[in-house]
Structure 1
């Protein structure tokens, strides 16, 4: 049933955004799309690389972020349509 899938997706998105650093990462990528882990790390204060990777994984798994590789770098971008639908506040 579509409603059940929407509810499950919304719960995953809200759980992911319920953590302060993940909200900050998402807000950074809303304004500066297509950043690699190193560039995101520069925007945040005192967050370990492994912790950042964990947050990026959670945001990607719930659909907020998508990735692409260019050489050895993995770049992250926000799914604006998903955020418009489930969490429009993040886009402000």
Structure 2
């Protein structure tokens, strides 16, 4: 099913409702990203931030031995940096 086409052709409310029902009927894997970038728990924060910036990622799963242990976020990195400057300035 072409989700973009479906959403772009909803001239009638009935057609739109049907489209939404079809989309919500999809399985998560059908629209999920197939190749996911992950960071190992030992990945240096500088390296992770560079990859996230280059690839324009806001969140990246963090794994240990292949198991999800957390999510690194852009806002978390910024918060950590700002916290470091606040402690040094105070």
TM-score interval w.r.t. the shorter chain?
under 0.3
More helix by share: 1
Which TM-score applies when normalising by structure 1?
A: 0.24
Computing the radius of gyration from Cα coordinates, the structure with the larger value is 2
Which TM-score applies when normalising by structure 2?
A: 0.24
Higher relative contact order (CA 8 A, sep 6+): 1
